[in-house]
Structure 1
Amino acid sequence: MNSTEIESNSDLNIKKKLIKLALPATVENILETSVGFIDSLMISQIGLFAVAGVGIANAVLNVYIAVFIALGIGTSSLISRYIGADNSEKAKLIAKQSLLLAIVSGLCLGLVSLLIGPQLLKLMGATEQTFNYSLQFFCIVGGGSVTIATMIILGSILRALGDTKSPMKIGLITNILNIILDYILIFGLGPLPALGVAGTAIGTLVARLLGTILLYRKVQSTILSFSFRSIFQRSNYQELLNLSFPAALERLVMRLGQVLYFGLIVAIGAKTYSAHSIAGSIESFVYMPAYGLATAAATLAGNSIGKKDYVETKRVAFYAVKYGVIVLSILGIG
C-alpha cells in the first residue's frame, strides 16, 4: 500500500469518526432545543408577558451556562488528550477536578440568583408586567444552577471518552420528563394546581437533577470511574483553569453582548421581546449541527494531540470546518 492510499484511508477513518461522534451530539442538542421551543409554546398559553419574562431570565442564565460550557471545553480537551496519551489516571484526575469546580461554581451562581436575582432582572429591563414571571423562573432555575453545571460537565466527560450516544439517550429521557412535568405543573392536573411559570421552572429543575444522576452513574461505568468523596482530595487545578479561563472569557464576552442586545429589545416592548424569543428558539435549530461537529472535533483533536499526531489534528480540524460550512450553508438558505 503506497503513501497516497494510506493517507486516503486515514482521511476516510477521520471522516467516519467525526460523523459517528457528531450525529448523536447533534441529536442531543436538537432535543434540548426542541424542549425549549415546546416550553415557549406552553408558556405562551399563559400570555406574551410570561414568554417575555422567561426570556429575560434565560438571557441571564445563558451567561451562567457560558461559564459552565467553558469549563466543559477545558474538561473534554484535557481528558481526550490524556486518553490519547494512554494516561487514564491523569484523565480521571481532570474529571474529578472539573466536577468539583462545577459544583462550587453552580452553588455560587445559585446563591447569586437567590440573593440579587431581582436586581439582575431589573437591570435586564424587566418591566412591571414581566418582572414576576421572570423572577419566579429565575429564582428556581437559577437557584438550582448546580444541576446545569453538573449535567454539562458530566456530559463533557463522557464525550471526551468518545461516548456521545449516552448523553444523547439520557438527554432524551430528561427532555421527555421535562415536557411531561412542565405540562402538568403549568396547567395543573387533578389535585395538582396550575403553577404557571413556576411550574415550568420546577419541571426543568427536576429533569436536570435526574439527568445529573443518570450521567454520573454512566461515568461510573467507564474507565474514569471515581467515588464522589474523592473529588474533594487536594490537587493542582492550574492546568484545567489555564485552559478553561480563556474559553470562559471568550464566551462571557459573547453572552454579555447578547444580554446588552436583548436589553435593547426589551426596551422596545414586552411583546416585541416575546416575538424575538420565539423566533430565536426556532432559529437556534440551525446551529445544532455545528455544535455536534465542535464536540466531535474537540474529542478527536484531543486524542490526536495526546498521541502527538499533529497531522491528524489538522485533518480533523479541516473536515470539521468543511462539513460545518456545507451543512450550515444549506440550513441557512433554508
Structure 2
Amino acid sequence: MEQHKVMILGTGPAGLTAAIYAARANLNPVVIEGNEPGGQLTLTTEVENFPGFTDGIMGPELMDNMRKQAERFGAKFVQGWVSGVDLSQRPFHVTVDENDEYVSETLIISTGASAKMLGIEGESDLIGRGVSTCATCDGFFFRNKPIIVVGGGDSAMEEATFLTKFASEVTIVHRRNELRASKVMQDRARNNPKIKWALNVTPLSVKSDGNKVNGLEVRDNETGETRVLPTDGVFVAIGHQPNTAFLNNQIEVDPVGYIVTKGITTATSVEGVFACGDVMDSHYRQAVTAAGSGCKAALDVEKYLEGSAFQDWSVSSTAVR
C-alpha cells in the first residue's frame, strides 16, 4: 500500500488552502473530498468579504477556483467519505467509503461543521417538504410564499435576506429579544421591507397539512402562550456541529466537539495530526479565517516532516476560540 506524506480530509476553504500550500511544497498531498466537496461555500450565493474580489464572487465559483489551483500544483483528489481513521500509530490509516484504505505520515483534518437542527416535533419528518437548512438550495421552491427563518446570528440574517428574493415575506424567529448577528447584518435585515420579526419565542413543533409544512408552533417566552405562525417553509439557521464523530475519541476535542489545537499552531493532541477550519474554530467561522488556518496547517506539516523542533513553538494545549 502506497504511503503518502500528507492526507487532507475535507475540501472547504481550509482544506483547499492547505492543499495548495502542501502541493507547492512538493508534499504531493492526497485530498479526500467527502460527500459535500467545497464545503459550506458551495451552498452560498455571493461572497462579498473574501479579499481580492472587489465585486464579490459566487461561493461555488470560489471553491472551484481553489480546487483547480491545488490541482495545478499537483494535489490529488479522491472522492469519498472518511468512514474511519486509526491514529494509534504512525503511519496513520484512513478508511474511505468503508472499503478503500490509505496510509499517510501526517493528517490535516479540515472536515468542517454541519448545520444544527432544532430537534422539535415534525422537523426531521418534513425535511425536503418545507424544512430546510440551505436557502440557496431550496429558496427557488418558495416563490411568492411566506417562509420562516429560525436563528439570530449572521447566518440567519444572510439566509433571510437571500430568501426575500423569492418569498412573499420572511419572518425571523429567535428565542431571545437580542440578536447575535453583527450590526451590519442586522441592519441589512431590519431595513428589508419583506422581513418580519417574531422575537423572544421558542419553536415547539413544525406543523403540516399531512404532506408539507403549513406552520411553526411557538411559545411566547413572556406569557407562555402558544400560537402557530402560518408558513410554507421553515429554514433552520442556528449554527453548526463540528464533524469529528468519525475520529471516535482518538483526539482531544472540547465539550462541543471542536478539535483542540496547541497554542498558536494547528497541531492536535496526536503527534502528526493537524486541524484547520471550522472543525477547530468555534468563534470566527469565516471563509478567510478558514483559509488562513489551512495555510498554517500546511506550514506546520512541512516543518513537522522536516523534523523541526515543533514543541519549541507550540506554546500550550488550548482550544482555538
TM-score over 0.5 for the pair: no
Q: Counting helix residues as a fraction of each chain, which structure ranks higher?
A: 1
TM-score (norm 2): 0.23
Q: Counting strand residues as a fraction of each chain, which structure ranks higher?
A: 2
TM-score (norm 1): 0.22
